[in-house]
Amino acid sequence: MIWTLVIVIAAIACWQLKGPSAVEASLHSYVDQILVVLPRMAAALLISGFVQVLVPHDLVKRWLGKSAGLKGVFVATGVGALTPGGPMLAFPLVIVLRNAGASTASLITFLTAWATLGFHRVLMWELPLLGPNFAAVRYLASIPLPFVAGAIVLACVAAAERREARPR
């Protein structure tokens, strides 16, 4: 409902500010983007379906589950940094890992590492476009971020569990 309201308001604003031809151009742009995104999304969801079946749940629980604690943060950082692809692959993979028993801390750490330490992005974009000095400084500055995110989540979860354990 909220997105429908946002779309209607945006369409009205577009019509009022730029006229009906702008609304038509927006709809053409929408169709063009859908034609690009749908095949990628379909492929990503198919891959996540295969991964869901292939990844052993007990392995995920052991290395990324709630009992993994800080070890899970380190493993999730490494896996996130080595996971190639964009959000259409990473987010379905997070759903697979969550369904297999990965903890919230591991999932947030994975996403943070994927977003900040994705090695494929360094090789494909940063090195060629921004140069080795920038890429190295940016990468080194980002290394602590997944660990910090994971530690914050672990602390929040521990605090919530202590609060729930208190007698009322």
**CB contact set of 96 (below 8 Å; sequence gap of 6+):** 48, 51, 52, 55
Query: Is 71 found in the same domain as 143?
Result: yes
Query: Is 71 found in the same domain as 50?
Result: no
Domain count of the chain?
A: 2
- 109 pLDDT higher than 90: yes
Query: Is 144 found in the same domain as 79?
Result: yes
- Which pTM value belongs to this model? 0.78
Q: In angstroms, rounded to a whole number, what is the distance separating the alpha carbons of residues 117 and 27?
A: 36
Give 74's pLDDT tier (boundaries 50, 70, 90): very high
- 33 pLDDT higher than 90: yes
Domain that holds residue 126: 56-168
